[in-house]
Amino acid sequence: MKNTGIVRRIDELGRVVLPVEMRKVLNIKEKDPLEIYSDGDSIILTKYAANMACLMTGEITTQNRAYAGGKIVLSPRGAELLLKDMMEALSKKK
């Protein structure tokens, strides 16, 4: 993790403001959903990308790719698994 030197206080409703400079750098727009994780005493925010979950593995990575007009999303590992399954299915047909 990279230390930005930015400190923010939590308001009375439990909200924290993310600085606009940081949102621009991370391409986080207004109304973008964020996932919240905890790791020990750290809180981790990531952009929510459920629509980019791999159909085969469920993985969400920056390397996932959409196919068939966005109907199928595959990670590199998911693509390998699908290709293997398809090759096996095709070889059984012969």
Taking residues 52-81, report their average pLDDT: 91
Which domains does the chain show, CATH number per domain?
Answer: 1-48 (2.10.260.10), 50-93 (no CATH)
Is residue 48 predicted with pLDDT exceeding 90?
no
Is residue 88 predicted with pLDDT exceeding 90?
yes
**Whether the Cβ atoms of residue 49 and residue 26 lie closer than 8 Å to each other:** no
DSSP state of 47: E
Is residue 94 predicted with pLDDT exceeding 70?
no
The mean pLDDT value of the chain amounts to 90
User: Sign of the CA dihedral 62, 67, 69, 70?
Assistant: negative
Is residue 4 predicted with pLDDT exceeding 90?
no
